[in-house]
Amino acid sequence: MPDLYDVVIVGGGVVGSATAYFLATRPDFNGRIAVVERDSAYEFASTPRSCGGVRQQFTTPENIRISQFTASFLAEIGDLLEVGGDRPDVSFRKNGYLFLGTEAMLPAMQQINEIQRRENAPVALLDRNGLAERFPWLTLDGLACGSFGTEEEGWIDPFALLQAFRRKAKSLGVDYIDDEVVGFDRTANKVAGVRLASGGRLGSGAVVNAAGYRGGKVAAMVGADLPVRPRKRSVFVVDIRQPLADYPLLIDHTGVYWRPEGQFFICGRSPDEDNDPEVEDDDFDVDHDWFESEIWPIMAERDPRFESLKVVNSWAGQYDMNLFDHNAVIGPHPEIANFFFANGFSGHGLQQSPAVGRAVSELIAAGRFETLDLSVFHFERIAAGKPFLELAVV
């Protein structure tokens, strides 16, 4: 006989654990919750391999509102996720994001800034003089403007957030199961059971796909064509032998980014879509040539202090890239009534996890969004061929 659960969450990363937490804290839900995680040490999970960025500089109102909830959640995280007197600290460094733009990019950045200002996001659009005054070390060649988040932007310790959600969820009675989901049993238009690699089976009232870069594979197990695929990203840790206080997370107009990490800096660059092939979900080989040819020269050009540096560490992680429109897929399957998506965050799942976890818990317990209306992220837009584009993908 299967072990019976009211909700089975596939994937115990930050999105799955946030969903479990918010469900477990709802006064109108007292069902059993299981989180199935195949990598319980999180050795290859996306969350701990993330750069930890938190920003409000998105191009759609819904993503901005999601980030604003994240900011408010992080402000109270010690109280909200406290367990047995242990108050979590995710080390939020509020140094801001700085997006740099060229003259050709200026009209689009002005339009985006208007959207952000309408949503009360604290973002300043600086001209060249403003950049020179605020960041005197910055080489302005080729630049016309910079978009800088002045409040509640920066980066956190991603693994600390994951562990805080997981620890709190477990303290509330959520079961974490060290196993892999390999299939589902269907009864009419519902998932009746979850099959595990160990040979076990879980009876399920509802299933949440929070499987990260394997989200497309999990969706295929119920016959859903979810265009979420793994895309590898290499991250490099460099030492320039001089501490730089109050440095932002900088994104050059070429896409190269870097930020402080203790006494070092971490950096990377996402390739163009035409040069971003699908990879196996167990491919974590670092592309060192990518750093030498595509990252370091840009860093040294923009800030001469990076002309002399030493790579001291590196790693690769996987984005759960939504190839359709680079935006999340959140909500129920249109034909499978108890199957819910929380997928395709395309590199910003960590910072969206609080709002997404809350939203999915609302759909399961109340049948509707109660706080933020995230209906624009529905699965049906994919089949209808109507993308909801997010342009600010780093």
User: What pLDDT sits at residue 393?
Assistant: 83
Residues ≥6 apart with Cβ < 8 Å to 188: none
Q: HSE of 381 in the Cβ direction (CA atoms, 13 Å)?
A: 19
Within 10 Å of residue 175's Cβ, how many Cβ atoms?
Answer: 16
Q: Give the integer Cα–Cα distance in Å for 117 and 109.
A: 12
Q: Give the integer Cα–Cα distance in Å for 202 and 221.
A: 15
Q: Which helix (H) or strand (E) segment is 28 a member of?
A: none
Predicted confidence (pLDDT) per residue in 260-291, tens digit:
999 999 999 999 888 888 899 899 999 999 99
User: What pLDDT sits at residue 242?
Assistant: 82
Which structure tokens are listed for 392? 């600010």
Q: What are phi and psi of 191, to 5 degrees?
A: -85, 125
Does residue 104 sit in helix, strand or coil? coil
Does residue 59 sit in helix, strand or coil? coil
Alpha helices in 44-85 (DSSP H): 61-75, 77-80
Does residue 184 sit in helix, strand or coil? strand
Nearest to 183 by CA among 226, 224, 229, 222: 222
Q: Give the integer Cα–Cα distance in Å for 122 and 57.
A: 9
CATH of range 97-153+234-316; options 2.60.40.420, 3.30.9.10, 3.30.1360.70, 3.40.50.10890: 3.30.9.10
Identify the burial level of 79 via C-beta atoms within 10 angstroms of its C-beta, where 0-12 means exposed, 13-18 middle and 19 or more buried. Answer: exposed
Which structure tokens are listed for 151? 């409040």
Residue 2: pLDDT above 80? Answer: no
User: What pLDDT sits at residue 1?
Assistant: 58
Q: Give the integer Cα–Cα distance in Å for 372 and 65.
A: 8
Predicted confidence (pLDDT) per residue in 331-363, tens digit:
999 999 999 999 999 999 999 999 999 999 999
* Under 8 Å between Cβ of 350 and 262: no
Q: Which helix (H) or strand (E) segment is 57 a member of?
A: none
Looking at CATH, the fold of the domain delimited by 3-84+157-227+324-384 is given as: FAD/NAD(P)-binding domain (3.50.50)
0.85 exceeded by pTM: yes
Q: Please indicate whether residue 292 or residue 241 has the higher confidence score (pLDDT).
A: 292
The arithmetic mean of pLDDT across residues 157-180, rounded, is 98
DSSP-derived letter for residue 82 is -
Which structure tokens are listed for 383? 């089949």
- Bridge partners (DSSP) of residue 98 are 148, 250
Predicted confidence (pLDDT) per residue in 220-232, tens digit:
999 999 999 999 9
Q: Give the integer Cα–Cα distance in Å for 36 and 20.
A: 11
Q: Give the integer Cα–Cα distance in Å for 245 and 305.
A: 13
Q: Give the integer Cα–Cα distance in Å for 113 and 97.
A: 14
Alpha helices in the chain (DSSP H): 14-24, 61-75, 77-80, 106-118, 128-134, 158-171, 215-220, 288-290, 296-302, 349-366, 380-384
User: Which letter, b or e, does each residue of 368-391 get, where b requires 16 or more Cβ atoms within 10 Å of its Cβ?
Assistant: ebeebebeebbbebbeeeeebebe
Structural domain boundaries in the chain = 3-84+157-227+324-384, 97-153+234-316
Share of the chain above pLDDT 90, in %: 93
Residue 329: pLDDT above 90? Answer: yes
Residues ≥6 apart with Cβ < 8 Å to 6: 29, 31, 32, 33, 204, 205, 206
